[in-house]
Structure 1
Amino acid sequence: MGAALRRIQLGSALSAFGLGFTVPYLYVYVAQVRDLGAGTAGVVLAVFAMAALAVLPFTGRAIDRRGPVPVLLAASALAAAGAAALGYASTVPAAVASAALLGAGTAVTQPALATMLVWCSSTATRTRAFAMQFFLQNLGLGLGGLVGGQLVDVSRPASFTMLFLIEAAMFVVLGIVVATVRMPRTAGLPAPRPGDGSAAKGGMRALLSHRAMVQLCVLGFVLFFACYGQFESGLAAYGTEAAGIEPATLGFALAANTAVIVAAQFVVLRLVERRRRSRVIASVGLIWAFAWIVAGYAGLGHGSQAMATAAFVSTYALFGLGEAMLSPTVAPLVADLAPESMVGQYNSAFALCKQLALAVGPAVGGPMGASLHGPYIVTFVLFSLGITVLALRLGRRLTPVQDQPSLAHVPSRVVAVSLPEGAEAQAATTGSGPVGRTTAATAAAGR
C-alpha cells in the first residue's frame, strides 16, 4: 500500500475500534445506567439508525462536489461531538440528540472512506484494499468490544462516560489522519477530481438508469437484510427462544463470527480475487442458505443442548465466511461501476441500501425469530438462495473486467462496459468515464 492508503486504513480501523467500545453497550447505558427506561433506549437506537437514512441521500453529491476529504472531516467532527455528548446525556432529549449526531456522523464516514480508497487504488489493487479495510474494521470492532467490556461497570456511570470519550477521541484521530492524506492521481481515475473543482455530473436519475448498479443495490439490500439485519435481532431471538441458547452464548457466537473473518480473510482473498465476482457472491448465497439450515437444526432439531449450541455458534461462523468472501467483491464492484464524477454518489447509494436493510431487518426478523420459528428459517433460506439468483443475473450485465478484474492484467480486446443509459455516446466521444478506464487498462495490458 502507498502512504495515503495506509493512513486511510489506519484511520478506518481506529474509528471502528471506537465504535466497538460503545455500540454493544448503548442499550444498557441508556436504559439502566442513565435509568431512562427500555422505551427510551429503543428510541435512541432507532434514532441512531434513522439519522443515517436522513443524511446518506445527500452525502454522495457532497463527496462528488467537494471531494471525500472535507466531507469526512465534517463527519468525524460530527461523530466525535455526538459521542462526547452521549457520554454526559442524562435526559431523554439529550440522549436522542446525541444519538442523532453520532448516527449521522458515522453513516457519512463510510461512503467517504470508500471513495478515498477508490482514489488511492487501481482496478488491480482495489480488491485487496477493500478486503484490508474490512479485516481491520472487524478487528477494531472486536478489540473495542473486548476492551470496553472490561472497563464498563453498570454501577459507575463514569465508566461509560470514559468509553464515549474514548470513542470521540478515535473520531478526532480519524479526522487528523485524513487531514494529512495527500490524494494521489491514479491510472484508474485520470480525470480531474471533484476536489480540484470539477462539477459532479449525473445525479439520481443517471444512477437509476444504470441497470447493473440498480441490480447491485437490490442485491446489496438482500445481502444485508439476510445477514447483518438478523444478527442482533431475529437470529438472537430465535436462538434464545427456539434453541434455548443462553444469552451469554450469543457473545461467543459473535466472537466466532469475528474470528472466522479475521482468520480467513486473506486466505479467502487468494481464492476469490481471480474468480468472477458474480460467482463468488452467488456462492455466498449458498453458504448462507446452509447456515440457516444449520440454525434450523439448532432450534427445530431433536439433538442435545450441546449440539444445538454448537450448531448455533456454527451458524455465525458460516456467516463470517460469507462476509470474508463479500468484502473483496461487492464494495470494489460498486467503485468499478461508477463513472468518475459519481463515485461518491454510487458509494452513498449502496450505503443507503445497506442502512435500509439494517433498519428493516430487525423489524421483520425480530418478531418472526421470537415466535414463528419454522417460517423464520424457511424465509431466510429462500432469501439466501435469492442472493445466488440475483448475483448470477447481475453477472450477465457486467463486462468481463468488471466481473473479473484479474483479466485487466492479460491482453484483451474487450472494451465494452456497463454504463448508465445515455452515457455511452458521451463516453465514446470524450474517452472519459469507465470506457476510458477499461480501454486504458486493456491498452496497458497489451503493452
Structure 2
Amino acid sequence: MSESSTPRPGVRQFWADLPVEGRWLLSTVAVQTLGRGLTLPFTVIYLNEVRGISLDLAGALMAFIAVVALVVTGPGGALTDRVGARRMLLLATAAQLVGCVVLAFATTPVTVALAFTFLGFNFGVSWPAFNALVAAITSGPARQQYFGINFALVNLGIGLGGIVGGLYADVHQPSTFTVIFLADAASMLVPIGLLLGPLRHVHGRAEKPEGTQGSGGSYLEIVRNPVVIWITVLTFLGTFVGYGQMEAGFPAFARKVSEVPTEVIGFAFALNTAVIVGLQFAVLHRISGRRRTRVLTVMAGLWALAWVVLGSTGFAPGTMLAAAGVLAFHAFFALGETLLQPTIPAITNDMAPDHLRGRYNAVSAGAFQGGTILGPVVAGFMLNHGWSTEFVVMLVVSCGLMVLLARVVERRITPFVNGIQPPLTSTGAAEAAPAPSPSLAAQPSAAGAMPHAADHD
C-alpha cells in the first residue's frame, strides 16, 4: 500500500482545515453519545429485571428496533435528498428524545414497543441523514478522517456513559433507570440545539445537475450500478461478521464455550473502547492516502484472527487462558473497527452524486441493519445446537469472502473513490468523484461561505 505519495495531515492540520460547521458537529459528539452510553449496556437488564419482561420477549423487542430501522431507511434516504439532511436529522433526533422518555416510564411490553418504534425510526433515518450532512460539510481526504475521528469520539462518549451508568443504575431502585433514560433523552438536546443554531444554514441538499442523464433518484436505478451492489454486499457481510455478533454471538460464545465470568466480558467491551479511542487517530494517519479496499483487506484479516483466537478458548474453557483469549478477541476486533469506520462511509459518499447522497447512504444503512438482524439469529441457532466450531469456521470463511469482495470493488471504483487523490487533469477521476456539495457553496453559513476542503455515523 505504498503507492500513494499523498501527504498525511495530522489531527491539528485536520482541525485547522475543518469548516466551522464541521468543528461544531465534531466537538459535541462525545457529549451527545454520553447519554446513549448510560443506557445501551443496560436496556435488556432494565426490561427483564426492573420491568419484569421475560428475556425472550426482551430480546424480540430489542430486535424490533432494527426491524423498524430497516423499514424506514429507504424513505428516510429519499427524504434526505428532497428536504435536506438537517431537517431529517432534526426529526430523527426528536424521535430519539421521545422514545427515551417513553422508555423511562414504560411498564408493559406494548409501551416498550412504542418507545422502540421511535428509537428504530431514529436509527433508520439518522444514518443516511448524518452521513449526508457530513459529506456536505467535508470533502476529499478530510471526509475519511472525519468519519474515523467521529467513530472514536462516539466510542469515548458511550464508554464513559457506560461507566457512569454501571455505577449509578441499581435494579433494586427502578427510579435510577428512569433517571438514566431521561438523561439519554436530555442529551439529544445538544444535537437539536446545534441543528437549530450554528448549523441552521447547512441543509445538506443538492439539486440534480442540469443536463444529467439518468440519476433520476430511484433506488432501483442506484442498485443497478454493479459497484453499489458489490459495496452493499461487502457492508452486509462485514456487519454480519462483526457488529451482528457483538450483542449475541460473542457474549454467548464467551459464556457457553469459553466459560468465562460476566466480569471478563465486561472488561472485554471496555478494552474494545480503549483500543478504538487510543488508536483511531494513529490509524487515520497511517491509512491516509492508502487504497481503502486494501485497508478493508487488512481489517478482514484482523477480524479473522480475532475469531480464531476466540475459537481457541474452547480448548481451555474456564481458565485464565480462556479469559485472556476473550480479551484478545476484542483487542483485535477493535483494531479492525478503526479500519472499517473511516473507509466504507467514505467510499459510499465519494461514490454518490451530491443529489443522491441520502439514498446511497440509505442503501448502505440497509445493508448494515440487515447484518445486525441476521447475525444474532444465526449465532443463537448455531450456538444453541452446540455448533461452536462450525460457528467460528463460518465467520473466518466470511472474512475471507470480504477480502475477495474488497478486491472486486477495487477493480470497479476509481482511484479517487478508493482514497487516492487523482491528478487534477484526470477526466475519469472527475467523473467518479463528486465535487464538494454545491448546496453549501451557494448559501450563507455561520462562518460565511462554506469552504470546500474539509470533513466527518
User: TM-score range with shorter-chain normalisation?
Assistant: 0.7 to 0.9
- SS at structure 1 position matched to 2:412: coil
Could you say which residue in structure 1 is the equivalent of 2:88? 71
* Amino acid of the structure 2 residue aligned with 1:171: M
- SS at structure 2 position matched to 1:437: coil
- 1:36, CA displacement in angstroms? 2.6
User: Kindly tell me: are residues 313 and 72 of structure 1, through their superposed partners in 2, closer, same or farther at Cα, counting changes over 3 Å?
Assistant: same
- 1:193, CA displacement in angstroms? 8.5
- The answer to whether the Cα contact below 8 Å between 1:8 and 1:181 also exists between their aligned partners in 2 is no
- Using the size of structure 2 for normalisation, the TM-score is 0.86
Alignment equivalent of 2:435, drawn from 433, 437, 447: 437
The answer on 1:249 being equivalent to 2:249 is no
Q: Distance in 2 between matches of 1:220 and 1:312?
A: 25
User: Kindly tell me: are residues 174 and 190 of structure 1, through their superposed partners in 2, closer, same or farther at Cα, counting changes over 3 Å?
Assistant: closer
Q: Distance in 1 between matches of 2:321 and 2:151?
A: 31
RMSD between aligned residues: 2.5
Q: Distance in 2 between matches of 1:116 and 1:130?
A: 12
* Amino acid of the structure 2 residue aligned with 1:282: T
Q: Distance in 2 between matches of 1:252 and 1:259?
A: 10
User: Kindly tell me: are residues 316 and 326 of structure 1, through their superposed partners in 2, closer, same or farther at Cα, counting changes over 3 Å?
Assistant: same
Could you say which residue in structure 1 is the equivalent of 2:319? 305
- SS at structure 2 position matched to 1:403: coil
* Amino acid of the structure 1 residue aligned with 2:407: L
Q: Distance in 2 between matches of 1:281 and 1:146?
A: 31
- 1:124, CA displacement in angstroms? 2.9
Q: Distance in 2 between matches of 1:363 and 1:135?
A: 28
RCO (CA 8 Å, sep 6+): is it higher in 1 or 2?
A: 2
Could you say which residue in structure 2 is the equivalent of 1:94? 111
Deviates more, 1:385-394 or 1:13-22: 13-22
Alignment equivalent of 2:371, drawn from 353, 357, 379: 357
The answer on 1:328 being equivalent to 2:326 is no
Could you say which residue in structure 2 is the equivalent of 1:426? none
Could you say which residue in structure 2 is the equivalent of 1:427? none
Alignment equivalent of 1:54, drawn from 63, 68, 71: 71
Q: Distance in 1 between matches of 2:205 and 2:370?
A: 33
Q: Give aligned-pair identity as a percent.
A: 31
The answer on 1:82 being equivalent to 2:99 is yes
Could you say which residue in structure 2 is the equivalent of 1:157? 174
Could you say which residue in structure 2 is the equivalent of 1:197? none
- SS at structure 2 position matched to 1:225: helix
Q: Deviations over 1:316-350 (max 9, x none)?
A: 11010000011221111110010111001111110
* Amino acid of the structure 1 residue aligned with 2:405: L
- The answer to whether the Cα contact below 8 Å between 1:119 and 1:183 also exists between their aligned partners in 2 is no
- 1:70, CA displacement in angstroms? 0.7
Alignment equivalent of 1:274, drawn from 285, 289, 305: 289
Could you say which residue in structure 2 is the equivalent of 1:203? 218
Alignment equivalent of 1:337, drawn from 351, 359, 364: 351
Q: Which runs of 5+ in 2 are unaligned?
A: 1-17, 210-214, 439-451
User: Kindly tell me: are residues 77 and 416 of structure 1, through their superposed partners in 2, closer, same or farther at Cα, counting changes over 3 Å?
Assistant: same
- 1:281, CA displacement in angstroms? 0.4
- The answer to whether the Cα contact below 8 Å between 1:287 and 1:322 also exists between their aligned partners in 2 is yes
* Amino acid of the structure 1 residue aligned with 2:428: A
- 1:304, CA displacement in angstroms? 7.8
The answer on 1:104 being equivalent to 2:102 is no
Could you say which residue in structure 1 is the equivalent of 2:6? none
The answer on 1:416 being equivalent to 2:422 is no
Matches within 5 A, 1:185-264: 192=207, 201-264=216-279
Q: Deviations over 1:333-387 (max 9, x none)?
A: 1100101110011111101110110011000012323421111111111011111
Matches within 5 A, 1:9-24: 9-24=26-41
Alignment equivalent of 2:57, drawn from 31, 36, 40: 40
- 1:40, CA displacement in angstroms? 3.1
The answer on 1:134 being equivalent to 2:151 is yes
Q: Distance in 2 between matches of 1:303 and 1:359?
A: 29
- The answer to whether the Cα contact below 8 Å between 2:297 and 2:403 also exists between their aligned partners in 1 is yes
- The answer to whether the Cα contact below 8 Å between 1:118 and 1:126 also exists between their aligned partners in 2 is yes
Q: Distance in 2 between matches of 1:335 and 1:54?
A: 22
Q: Distance in 1 between matches of 2:188 and 2:194?
A: 10
The answer on 1:374 being equivalent to 2:372 is no
Q: Distance in 1 between matches of 2:235 and 2:70?
A: 16
- The answer to whether the Cα contact below 8 Å between 2:76 and 2:124 also exists between their aligned partners in 1 is no
User: Kindly tell me: are residues 341 and 380 of structure 1, through their superposed partners in 2, closer, same or farther at Cα, counting changes over 3 Å?
Assistant: same
User: Kindly tell me: are residues 40 and 292 of structure 1, through their superposed partners in 2, closer, same or farther at Cα, counting changes over 3 Å?
Assistant: closer
The answer on 1:116 being equivalent to 2:114 is no
- Using the size of structure 1 for normalisation, the TM-score is 0.88
Q: Distance in 1 between matches of 2:178 and 2:202?
A: 42
* Amino acid of the structure 2 residue aligned with 1:165: L
- 1:116, CA displacement in angstroms? 0.9
- The answer to whether the Cα contact below 8 Å between 1:52 and 1:355 also exists between their aligned partners in 2 is yes
Aligned length: 416
Q: Distance in 2 between matches of 1:93 and 1:81?
A: 15
Q: Distance in 2 between matches of 1:235 and 1:103?
A: 23
- The answer to whether the Cα contact below 8 Å between 1:87 and 1:162 also exists between their aligned partners in 2 is yes
Q: Distance in 2 between matches of 1:191 and 1:44?
A: 37
